[in-house]
Amino acid sequence: MQRAYFDHNATTPIAPEVLETMVSCLDQTFGNASSIHHFGQAAKQRLEAARRQLASLIGARAPEVVFTSGGTEADNMAVLGVVRAAGPRHVITTAIEHPAVLAACAQLEREGAAVTRLRVDGAGVVDPDDVRLALRPDTALVSVMHANNELGTVQPIAEIARIAREAGVPLHVDGVQALGKIPVDVDALGVDLYSMSGHKLYAPKGVGALFVRKGARMAPLTFGGHHERDRRPGTENVPGIAGFGAAAELAERETASDGERLSGLRDRLEYSVLDRIAGTGVNGEGAPRTPNTTNLYFDGIDGEALVIALDLRGFAVSTGSACSSGAITPSHVLTAIGLSAERARASIRFSLGRSNTAAQVDALAGALEASVAHLRRISVHA
């Protein structure tokens, strides 16, 4: 059986160029980047080259890029670090953030901070005016994701940044699902902190980064040596970071062309499903979205059952965030946009990537039609 992967928002395969870079680094550049001898300095050069590659992708200056173990650590470093540096104060975020942000905010509440979680509209977009209205004299941070991991909806970050800047409040953006899918320029957006993750960008798992604008105040989360300009102690994962840098360079060349091709395939899938299968619709329709993501509901179907049925036919999809896979409660993102618990559980996320083709999309549509018909038939007779 030939298999097709439609779950790129969960993770991506490592690009050949990235793998080649990592193997070279593992084989030849084994030194500790903090050592002053030849082997250490060779590792340091690879580390700083990757920092420049990632900075170039997001329009930042290399010293503003801090490498982390992934997007979750980057989110925690930003949210906890900024607010703890300011003291127990007030945070503004949204109801559809990734658990890495929502759980960090919940921890701040336990430490005495106040948190405002803004509602979104039916397409999953926050109103910038709601951010303005939620601001208080003691607001220490605004944290709004760039693109939602389940819906693909893109938030009006530049407008939110202007509002936050006028109030003198730093803005953190979780950019994990945006980087490499849409253009990112931290200066044009006006953000102060921006979280990134390698494995969403055809780089390995276990490496991420946080853009920290010069002058941002952050309390440390971990303690040790003076790595990453005293932002994040610990010996750097040089092979992983080098791979992340190679992926960033690849993304800088290919984001525009990838986006154009993938948006066409996504639309092809949506049109085919809506035309061939009754009781379906697009969650988040009408909002700006990342070009590779669609979230569809199939009324009368259990989403987990449909994921399994499609896997048996050779197609990998998901019901939402991989970090929440197996959860009994419906997606907090889908209920936040107004879906009933039943419809939220009947929704599937399809996230496309470089390996997907029109033939795979057409085959997936056919598998969906057959699987939905079968599941609806057996549910009627159950």
Same domain, 192 and 307: no
Helix (H, G, I), strand (E, B) or coil at 228: helix
User: Is 25 annotated in the active site?
Assistant: no
251, 279, 301 — which closes off a domain? 251
In the chain, pLDDT over 70 holds for what percent of residues?
97
Average pLDDT over residues 340-360: 97
- In the block, tokens 């039609």 appear at 369
Residue-wise pLDDT for 178-199, tens only, equals 999 999 999 999 999 999 999 9
Average pLDDT over residues 263-274: 98
218, 235, 251 — which closes off a domain? 251
Kindly state the helix (H) or strand (E) to which residue 302 belongs, with its residue range: none
Question: What is the predicted pLDDT for the residue at 379?
Answer: 78
Same domain, 216 and 307: no
Residue 90 CA: distances (Å) to CA of 82, 117, 194, 206, 360: 11, 11, 20, 31, 47
Output the CA torsion 107→108→114→116 (10° steps): -70
Provide the pLDDT confidence category of residue 271 given band limits of 50, 70 and 90.
very high
Same domain, 168 and 267: no
Residue-wise pLDDT for 213-248, tens only, equals 999 999 999 999 999 988 999 999 999 999 999 999
Same domain, 44 and 120: yes
Same domain, 77 and 181: yes
Same domain, 238 and 316: no
CATH of the domain at 292: 3.90.1150.10
The answer, yes or no, to whether residue 327 has pLDDT greater than 70, is no
User: Considering its fold, how many domains does the chain have in total?
Assistant: 2
Same domain, 116 and 185: yes
In the chain, pLDDT over 90 holds for what percent of residues?
95
CATH of the domain at 145: 3.40.640.10
CB 68 within 8 A of CB 208: yes
Same domain, 176 and 235: yes
Same domain, 261 and 207: no
Question: What is the predicted pLDDT for the residue at 230?
Answer: 87
The one catalytic residue among 19, 115, 316, 323? 323
Per the structure, the complete domain to which residue 211 belongs is given by 16-251
Residue-wise pLDDT for 52-109, tens only, equals 999 999 999 999 999 999 999 999 999 999 999 998 899 999 999 999 999 999 999 9
202, 233, 251 — which closes off a domain? 251
Helix (H, G, I), strand (E, B) or coil at 4: strand
Same domain, 205 and 58: yes
Same domain, 346 and 244: no
Provide the pLDDT confidence category of residue 252 given band limits of 50, 70 and 90.
very high
Same domain, 166 and 50: yes
Residue-wise pLDDT for 118-153, tens only, equals 999 999 999 999 999 999 999 999 999 999 999 999
